Amino acid sequence: MSMRYNKSEMRAAVFNQLAIDLNCKPDDLNKDGIVFCAARENPGRRPYPREQRHFELLAAGKSAIVCASDDIMPFLKEQLAQKTRAEAFAMPFVCGIGLFFLPDTEKIKPLSPVDDFDYKIFDKLEVPSLYEFKGFNNALQYDVNAVRPDSLAITASKNGKIVGIAGATDDCAQMWQIGIEVADEYRSKGVASYLVNAITFEIMARGYIPYY
């Protein structure tokens, strides 16, 4: 399958999106130390919900970006201005840390499908037909009106029953996020790895950046 982005282009596109999300400049992500940015609703921001009082801390490149609402920014500057990036993430008011991954386009290879399972691709208009199959909440949003719509899915079936789904949400102009769910009794068999790998290539073939 063709890939629209090479490794450096993908990184640049992601940094541009993060700059929109966090109201900073792409170059801020390559600065040493902590950069403070006021939370703003910039056009093109990934539509994750924000409370009126907002704080997020992102580590990418060399820097740590603090994005926060104006009311708590003075407190955060007082607490974090002299900290290293590692020290900032160890502060007691930092919680809910998540890791996000991009494919290495120089190394990634398609995996062979796991034997004894059947696989099917569902495009955007077809994905809602999967909502009748409950229990795959990490892969599907079960909401046709979601602000980050389910735009692609790949299913794994055993004896006619869906046992695993990898789904992708359309998060912004260039990036689709991958989610995966496999039924308990079919885990540790390589199904999840294959589904994530397969949907990664499908997303790239459509000209988008997959992230997990």
Question: Do 96 and 177 contact (CB within 8 A), yes or no?
Answer: no
Domain that holds residue 84: 7-89
Q: What is residue 61's predicted lDDT score, i.e. its pLDDT?
A: 85
Write out the chain's pLDDT in tens, 212 residues: 456 888 999 999 999 999 999 999 999 999 999 999 999 999 999 999 999 999 999 998 889 999 999 999 999 999 999 999 999 999 999 998 899 999 999 999 999 999 999 999 999 999 999 999 999 999 999 999 999 999 999 999 999 999 999 999 999 999 999 999 999 999 999 999 999 999 999 999 999 999 99
Name residue 82's amino acid: Q
**Separation of alpha carbons 58 and 35, rounded Å:** 10
Q: Is residue 107 part of a domain?
A: no
Tell me, yes or no, whether 100 lies in a domain: no
Q: Tell me, yes or no, whether 188 lies in a domain.
A: yes
Question: Both 139 and 182 in a single domain?
Answer: yes
Q: Give me the pLDDT at residue 84, please.
A: 94
Q: How far apart are CA 105 and CA 84, in angstroms?
A: 31
Task: Tell me how far CA of residue 18 lies from CA of 12, 15, 102, in angstroms.
Answer: 10, 5, 14
pTM to 2 decimals? 0.91
Does residue 132 sit in the same domain as residue 59? no
Q: Is residue 160 situated within a structural domain?
A: yes
Determine the Cα–Cα distance for residues 19 and 211; give it in Å rounded to an integer.
16
Q: Residues 103, 177: contact at Cβ < 8 Å?
A: no
Residues 143 and 196 in one domain: yes
